[in-house]
Chains A and B, each alone.
Chain A
Amino acid sequence: MKLTDLEKINDHLWEIPKSHRPDMHVPARVYATETMLQSIVQDRSLEQLVNVCTIPGIRKYALAMPDVHEGYGFPIGGVAAVGASDGAISPGGIGYDINCGVRLLRSSLTLDEIRPRLEKLAHSIAREIPSGVGRGGSVRLKGQDLDLILRDGARRAVEMGHGREDDLKHIESGGRLDGADPHVVSQVARERGFDQLGTIGSGNHFVEIDRVEQIFDEEEAARLGLVRDGIVVQIHTGSRGLGHQVATDSIKGMMKAMPAYGITVADRELACAPISSREGQRYMGGMASAANFAFANRQLITAGIRRAWSREFGDDVVEIVYDVAHNVAKVERYPDVGEVVVHRKGATRAFPGQPVLIPGSMGTASYVLVGLDGAMEQTFGSSCHGAGRTMSRTKARTQINAEELRGRLRKLGIIAEAGSSKGLVEEAPEAYKDIDAVVDVVARAGIAKKVARVVPIAVVKG
């Protein structure tokens, strides 16, 4: 893709017209500054976005958020809405890590109060919450217990004693997606997930303790219980192996079914089926089940953090600020397109007034935003989901020294509890885009407004 293939709409919005390729049903739009766009065209993100424009039943346009980067099938940071009655659902538009998402917790402690025990706290959290590859959690679900988690998500986790009823009010969709059908979740998916509840996993997943560095909107911050120099905790993880397998099973099934529906796709990872079809309904039921597993996973991790917190700080109460999914499909209604299924792959729902959590990389800031009306008008109620990578994992491993990175983080006052040096360098700050610039685009576009900027003081990861 060349810059000249894009038409400028305004300083932060660009369009690839429908005429760019004959099989596009709608145009593609990209939220980015011109500088960011010059970097975005270096990978295949926008070719992938054009492919998304060919999905049957797609409405208005396919969207790329400013943190967009190359994925497979859909780009990461992609949004697409398809008609609920005539559209096709594509598991690749949600991704393998179904309901990968972020939960934000807040403590009543300040930096001065937490600093003396921070190292011990980080270590204690690392012991409570398994991370890395091949490490199972302390809860092993079987038979009906797993079915209940798949059906009821965080609600079931609370019923099992891993949280409080009040927690559910602060989770997207109450921590439970409707329409879950545990019976369509394969035995292999169950075997991959049965011991992974309450675990972070590896890659870019983490638990991070942050200090609220800056408040942009006092009123919204007060509503969310955020104060300057207050302490918050981010949890970034998803549905683990169970969700990965639901996606794999569904893509395989849809690839076989597509000829019967007369569907061809530009990339096999865009395999799709009519939402109303047997394959479409099976996926919707399986995806909701995996999403509920992810909500429950973040609920168990919250319980682990609370246990660690309690050991260090007695009765300080750790509350949930909010929990958002950034890899999920949802049935929503918009005035101009009616009822649609919105695919969000590496994109966060940003309904007006809803908290939007944008994690940065380890060593850089993260943001708390609140969705605005502009999101409903422009982006099917969606925002960016993170900083977005600019350096491959392979390059990060060859260019960044783990000890040098640990030293640099220490100088910034950040404690890193990492399972492996490899995992640490792959997620180094320089491997990611400038999150301030990404969030500025979203704010200037009127999609979401800035509420708080938080900076890490301790990171726990695989």
Chain B
Amino acid sequence: MYELVHHIADVRLRVAAPALEELFRDAVRGMYAVMRGASERDSQPVQRTIEVDESPDTTALLVDFLNEVLNRAQIGHELFTDVLFTRFDGTSLTATLSGIAPASFEEDVKAVTYHEADVRREGEAWTTMLVFDL
């Protein structure tokens, strides 16, 4: 699950999930909720595979992964709503993204920042905060 949290200029997203892969997937969905597509009804479905290697730790892996998702979104004018991991360890991953190619987005995310990002176990859940630069 994810929720938007107050930030004065940008977007702050709190994400929590019972497993790490789910945390990553929910973060992708949270980013989609921020960007949204205009006229999504006529959008074509798209699927992309991305790889992220050699991130220093799991927090960095999440931010690096989301920035790769953002690159695909910005370059291909695509938005992603789901993700399937075929490789996933603490510092690298391979993922297949599924989504749509809308005519334009509602919001421009410039970057996913490392600011406040901290993937950690809290009780039964994995949690982190994410700040998107708008």
Residues of chain A having any CB pair with chain B under 8 Å: 43, 69-73, 76, 95-97, 132-135, 188, 191-192, 201-203, 241, 244-245, 247-248, 251-252, 255-256, 267-269, 271, 389-395, 420, 422, 462
20 A-B pairs (CB sep. < 8 Å): A43-B8, A69-B8, A72-B131, A95-B133, A96-B111, A97-B110, A133-B104, A134-B103, A188-B75, A252-B67, A255-B114, A269-B113, A390-B8, A392-B6, A393-B9, A393-B134, A394-B7, A420-B106, A422-B106, A422-B107
Contacts of A245 in B (CB 8 A): 71
How long is the Cα–Cα vector from A135 to B77 in the complex, in angstroms? 9
A390, closest chain B residue (CB):
B8
How long is the Cα–Cα vector from A399 to B56 in the complex, in angstroms? 41
Contacts of A241 in B (CB 8 A): 74, 110
Taking A133-B106, A188-B71 as contacts, is the C-beta distance between A389 and B8 under 8 angstroms? yes
How long is the Cα–Cα vector from A243 to B75 in the complex, in angstroms? 14
The residue among A134, A188, A245, A395 with the most chain B CB atoms within 10 A of its own CB is: A134
B79, closest chain A residue (CB):
A134
**A271 lies within 8 A of B114 (CB):** yes
How long is the Cα–Cα vector from A105 to B103 in the complex, in angstroms? 32
**A191 lies within 8 A of B106 (CB):** no
**B115 lies within 8 A of A72 (CB):** yes
**B111 lies within 8 A of A247 (CB):** yes
**B115 lies within 8 A of A133 (CB):** no
Known contacts A255-B60, A393-B134; 16 additional CB pairs below 8 A are: A70-B7, A70-B8, A73-B115, A191-B75, A192-B74, A202-B107, A248-B111, A252-B67, A269-B113, A269-B115, A389-B8, A393-B9, A393-B11, A394-B4, A420-B106, A422-B107
Contacts of B133 in A (CB 8 A): 72, 95-96, 244
**B71 lies within 8 A of A252 (CB):** no
Closest beta carbon of chain B to A73's beta carbon, Å: 6
Closest beta carbon of chain B to A114's beta carbon, Å: 31
Taking A192-B75, A245-B71 as contacts, is the C-beta distance between A132 and B114 under 8 angstroms? no
**B8 lies within 8 A of A203 (CB):** no
**A133 lies within 8 A of B105 (CB):** yes
- The dominant DSSP class at the B interface is loop
A72, closest chain B residue (CB):
B115
How long is the Cα–Cα vector from A134 to B114 in the complex, in angstroms? 24
Taking A70-B7, A72-B10, A392-B6 as contacts, is the C-beta distance between A96 and B115 under 8 angstroms? no
Contacts of B115 in A (CB 8 A): 72-73, 267-269
How long is the Cα–Cα vector from A255 to B10 in the complex, in angstroms? 22
How long is the Cα–Cα vector from A248 to B112 in the complex, in angstroms? 8
**B134 lies within 8 A of A203 (CB):** yes
Residue B26 CB within 8 A of the other chain: no
Which among A72, A73, A192, A255 is the interface contact of B56 at CB below 8 angstroms? A255
Residue B40 CB within 8 A of the other chain: no
Which among A97, A244, A268, A395 is the interface contact of B114 at CB below 8 angstroms? A268
Binary contact track B7-47/A, C-beta < 8 Å → 1, others 0: 11111000000000000000000000001001000000000
Which among B10, B71, B116 is the interface contact of A192 at CB below 8 angstroms? B71
**A76 lies within 8 A of B108 (CB):** no
Closest beta carbon of chain A to B100's beta carbon, Å: 13
**A269 lies within 8 A of B67 (CB):** no
Closest beta carbon of chain A to B97's beta carbon, Å: 16
**B108 lies within 8 A of A201 (CB):** yes
How long is the Cα–Cα vector from A201 to B110 in the complex, in angstroms? 10
**B113 lies within 8 A of A133 (CB):** no
Contacts of B54 in A (CB 8 A): 256
**B74 lies within 8 A of A135 (CB):** no
Closest beta carbon of chain B to A251's beta carbon, Å: 7
B67, closest chain A residue (CB):
A248
How long is the Cα–Cα vector from A202 to B105 in the complex, in angstroms? 10
